[in-house]
Structure 1
Amino acid sequence: MSPAAQSLAYGIQLPVQSQSTLYTEDWETSAGPADLVEIARAVDRAGFDYLASCDHVGVPHRLAAAMSTVWYDPVATLAHLAAVTERVRLLSHVAVVGLRHPLLTAKQYATLDRLSGGRLILGVGAGHVREEFEALGVDFERRGAVLDETIDALRAALGPEEFPEHHGKLFDFEGLGQRPRPAQDHVPLWVGGSSPAAVRRAALKGDGWLPQGDPRDRLPARIEKLRRVREEAGIAEPCTIGAITGQPFVIDGGWLAGVGIA
């Protein structure tokens, strides 16, 4: 892939704010807001491109033992951390935007972008917890199609127009003004997921792609597919690959290399 066609951004998915047993360390279970603030400030100073917060509205009993029920709201969390950092970008990794009307999502994230001085990256994904969709009245089986149109609606709602307009199969709005507008002229929208559909969605609709648990040896083929789909669609704009670091450790005052892609 040519340098013009891609870039790589290293960031960190914050501890504490989500506590799945797949990755949570013991100390996180008793940590809280003050720890999140200190970590965010350290990330800001260290030069990471972004810090990230996850999204789940509710976790059902059948998944609670593995996922836990600790999932801080990403908008509230990122807004809180925006106030104590200066330069690091703020990423939702990932917002399950199909659970909410796009005008509501746009209002929340446009406000976050304005308050943070234009540091938002809106990461979106299809979601995987059926019970969340059922509780909120969204068709779980059609979540891919819902996400596709939601992305289009969010492009309009987060654009420069005070009165955004979108006319689709699922959402139809015009004549409703929303201010504040985002501070950025173009809010970056990154698509998460590593299924064939997710990679294709990232290629066609995203400014970036967020791999989800891909082993290193599978990434080159997925990135090549991303490049090929964008090229075939005539999309010349760069696509950022969002790389989550592995566990960072500090030894004798220096960073121990612990960087990977997750």
Structure 2
Amino acid sequence: MQLPVQSQSTIYAEEWEAGAGPADLVEIARAADRAGFGYLAVCDHVAIPRRLAGAMSTVWYDPVATLAHLAAVTERVRLLSHVAVVGLRHPLLTAKQYATLDHLAGGRLILGVGAGHVREEFEAVGADFERRGAVLDETIDALRAALGPAEFPEHHGKFYDFAGLGQLPRPAQPHVPLWVGGSSPPAVRRAALKGDGWLPQGDPRERLPARIARIRRLREEAGVEGAFTVGAITEPLYVGRAGWEVGRRTLTGAPEEIAASLRAYRAMGVDQIQVRFRSRSRAELVEQITAFGAEVAPRLR
């Protein structure tokens, strides 16, 4: 699941999150860890321009700092950047941050990356907005090198060139999974050819089969081999019968009803689903996480 509180876009934030903070994040992360969730995800924005602040809000916790904090209070759950806008930073800086995070967390990092979409954010830090797709393509290659086993990684490209610069500690994992986010044609192609997985950007169910088929076709045509994780973001969920208005798109009902609906994602070829629960308080969210882990998740297998 993507964590609440740490990003508060009006598209998905609940009212109670406005007054929440670090203690709430810790309790929610611990609940997800206990419930057997696969990962906790945190978003990435450096600064939100005033023209977008009304819709996006300006609440966006730093992903590395947040995931590192939560790594210290959880034991098993993996830690995902969904997504790191890596074009805002030099790949050696990104590698230093996330390699240290993986080292401290005992090998629990999944690095999700994306191109970004806020022009002013790029301009403020001196990054190239117009060529952000090409920059991301090369950054993925540079990160593969910089997050690999070599103490002195090496990369020679159009945008970045480095060698003879040592970085310790190395990640605890021999291979940090790199998932690519986005649902545009270039993003899907990038995921297929350069990623270890795909993080769609809220595609409705009916669009997923065609996109998954394209990923498989692109990988086959390019001769790309190895494990690949297809993701999906589900509709909002509420386990049980809600006594309040949870919205017409929300999947709600008995655990088996919800599980039966979610099993359709597997039939499409999806490997992991990211869920989000409707809630009116931290306590209700923790209850939902616990109920999902105990009563819905076992029915998905």
Alignment TM-score > 0.5, same fold: yes
Query: Which secondary structure state, in structure 2, belongs to the residue aligned with residue 140 of structure 1?
Result: coil
Question: What stretches of structure 2 of length at least 5 have no aligned partner?
Answer: 242-252, 266-272, 275-301
Q: Which runs of 4+ in 1 moved over 2 A?
A: 242-252, 254-262
- Point out the more displaced range, 91-100 or 234-243: 234-243
Cα distance in structure 2, aligned partners of 1:175 and 1:199 = 34
Does 2:101 align with 1:79? Answer: no
1:140-219 maps to which residues of 2 (within 5 A)?
Answer: 140-219=129-208
Higher helix content, 1 or 2: 2
Q: What is the deviation of 1:78?
A: 0.3
Instruction: Map Cα deviations across residues 119-150 of structure 1 (whole Å, 9 max, x no partner).
Output: 00000000000001111111111000010011
Percentage of pairs with the same residue: 81
What is residue 3 of structure 1 aligned with on the other side? Answer: none
CA contact (8 A) 1:13 1:244 kept: no
CA RMSD after TM alignment: 1.7
AA partner of residue 62 (structure 1): R
1:29-178 maps to which residues of 2 (within 5 A)?
Answer: 29-178=18-167
Cα distance in structure 2, aligned partners of 1:195 and 1:53 = 21
CA contact (8 A) 2:203 2:233 kept: no
AA partner of residue 115 (structure 2): A
CA contact (8 A) 1:53 1:74 kept: yes
Instruction: Map Cα deviations across residues 88-110 of structure 1 (whole Å, 9 max, x no partner).
Output: 11000000000000000000000
Cα distance in structure 1, aligned partners of 2:55 and 2:112 = 23
Query: Which secondary structure state, in structure 1, belongs to the residue aligned with residue 9 of structure 2?
Result: coil
Which of these residues, 208, 219, 222, is aligned with residue 230 of structure 1?
Answer: 219
Would you say how many aligned residue pairs link Structure 1 and Structure 2?
A: 250
- Ranked by relative contact order (alpha carbons within 8 Å, sequence separation 6 or more), the top structure is 1
Q: What is the deviation of 1:236?
A: 1.9
Instruction: Map Cα deviations across residues 47-98 of structure 1 (whole Å, 9 max, x no partner).
Output: 1111100000000000000000000000000000001111111000000000
Cα distance in structure 2, aligned partners of 1:159 and 1:140 = 27
Q: What is the deviation of 1:242?
A: 2.5
CA contact (8 A) 1:74 1:92 kept: yes
C-alpha spacing 1:234/1:129, structure 2 compared with 1 (3 Å) = same
Cα distance in structure 1, aligned partners of 2:7 and 2:182 = 18
Cα distance in structure 1, aligned partners of 2:49 and 2:203 = 26
Question: What stretches of structure 1 of length at least 5 have no aligned partner?
Answer: 1-11
Q: What is the deviation of 1:35?
A: 0.6
With normalisation by structure 2, the TM-score equals: 0.80
CA contact (8 A) 1:248 1:255 kept: no
Q: Greater Rg, structure 1 or structure 2? A: 2
Q: What is the deviation of 1:249?
A: 3.6
AA partner of residue 171 (structure 1): Y
Query: Which secondary structure state, in structure 1, belongs to the residue aligned with residue 230 of structure 2?
Result: strand
With normalisation by structure 1, the TM-score equals: 0.92
Query: Which secondary structure state, in structure 2, belongs to the residue aligned with residue 69 of structure 1?
Result: coil
